[in-house]
Each structure stands twice: as structure tokens, then as C-alpha cells.
Amino acid sequence: MKILLLDKNHPLITEQLLEKNYTLEEDFSSSYDEVCLKISNYDGIIIRSRIPLDKNFLEKGKNLKFIARVGAGMENIDVEVAEKLGIQLINSPEGNRDSVAEHVIGMLLFLMHRLFIASQEVKNGIWKREENRGDELLGKTVGLIGYGNMGKATAKRFSGFGCKVIFHDIISGLSDEYATQVSLEELKKTADILSLHIPITPETHYLIDENFISEMDKEFYFVNTARGKNVETKSLVKAIKSGKIKGACLDVLEYEKSSFENLETENEDLQYLLSSEKVIVTPHIAGWTHQSKEKLAQVIVDKILAS
């Protein structure tokens, strides 16, 4: 079986597949059009996010048996077309769920205990104690939207902080020892913290908008480690300014490039998020640890070998 690797990943992918007598070719620089010209020569592709696998691309891949995405989200692939063409889709959300869960907790602690602000003040000779009084996680009700690999790992961490964890998911019967499944209405009524763990689909695009925020009964903290376009930024900014959102932790932004490598747009709302003391922003790294890089790759190899 001949496999094309389109993005750099952990070397164990190459090492282990070569040991199993797969033929591998690495191409980390060719453009979309250049790859389209040769994709029919391969039985499989291993990707991250560099090149979109749209209808045109997939139809040219006449011999493709599988597409393996090192990561969780599949929005860079035309899933419907791939399934119609009989191409198996493989991803590895198991590989970075722990990294994402720790990142969620870390950002919230940073924000709620004013750690960045207080540290910067002390380094600049400013010693403020009362002004930097924090807010505890203990006793808070955490509402998760989405209860797949990321949601479950995050719930486990929150439960260790003495939080009540509830979640809403389109699949029923998912309650476990760490969290209780509730209706979206119940979540909006009781959550002190809202954290997203969902893919980007037509149904979840701008899920968090002005209407959704207004339906939250309490002032709340907001966390997004899912996808930037799950959130309408202008509504988020408006809610932070009004105090309805007490603070936001954002690892993803609406204005990211589809490859997640940088921002493609700058505007007034983005500048507010980047300058506000009520907002923690990181560059789409919630799932990026040294450990997750290896685990993501191992999951992909295991699934390819099992397919």
C-alpha cells in the first residue's frame, strides 16, 4: 500500500509503517493543484490541515482507500463525498484529549485567579493584593457542550476540583461518573462556566451568538478550545463588555486560517480580545503537547494497521 504524507508529524508514523512494509512518500510543500495531479497514485493519505480535501481532490484520488487525519476535526475533508466514494476516514481525538482538558483548566485558573495580571504587575514593581483577589473553581457548575473524547477528559479534570459538571450532547445516554447529561435549556439555566467541545458543522457554526448568550441565566466564564467559528466574535465581545461573560479563555478564534497556522483577518473585535484583561488567548495549542504529538501519531498508526 502506497501512502502520501502531506504534513509533518511524529516520526513514529513513518518508522512503524515502514516496518509493516508500507510504501511512504513525504510531500510537505507541494500546492493543492500539484498534489491533485498525483493523488491517483496513492492508496492512502495522512494529513493535518495544510491542504483541503474537497470534492475535486477526492474524485481525483481514484485509488484512495483511506484518509488519516492526525487530530480530531475533519472539517478540512468533504466527508460526504469521501463516504460516497468509499474512502475510509480515520482521525485520532483520543491522542490529544488529555492535553485539551489540561489546557482548559489551565486557562481558567490563569483567568479566574488573575495569575498573568498579578505576575506582570509584580515584575514591574507593582504589588497589589486586594485588586488581584481570585475566584475559585470549587463549587462552580460547569456546562460542557459536546461529550466526546475532549468533553469527557475535561469533565474528569473539573470533577477533581469539586465542580458540578453537566453537559449537553446530541447523542443521548452519555452520563458517567464525572458528568450528568442535561437539556440545553437546563445547561443555560445553571452553568457558571461554559466550555465548548464540538466540531464545526452547519448546525454549530455561530452556535454561541447573541441569542444564546442572552439565554444564559447567570453571568458566566466562557472557554473555547473547539473551533473559532463556533462563536460569533462580535456577540462575544459585546457580552464581555456588558459583564454577562465574566471572562473568556480562547484557544481558537473565528479569524484563523483554515490551516490554523495564523490569523487571516484583523478587526476591532479581535483587537479588543487581544487587549482585554478579561480574556486569555492562545494560538490553537490546546491539543499540542510533547506527549500528545506522540499519542496522536500512535493512534493513527494503530488505526491504519487495524483497517
- Enumerate the active-site residues: 227, 256, 284
Question: How far is 286 from 249, CA to CA, in rounded Å?
Answer: 11
How many CA atoms within 13 Å lie on the side-chain side of 162? 4
Query: Could you tell me the three cell numbers for 10?
Result: 511524529
Question: How far is 28 from 25, CA to CA, in rounded Å?
Answer: 10
Q: Which amino acid is at 59?
A: E
Task: Sheet containing 245-250: give its strands across.
Answer: 180-181, 164-168, 141-145, 193-196, 220-224, 245-250, 279-281
Question: How far is 264 from 266, CA to CA, in rounded Å?
Answer: 7
Backbone angles phi, psi at 227, to 5 degrees: -135, 145
Q: Is there a contact between 188 and 217 (Cβ–Cβ < 8 Å)?
A: yes
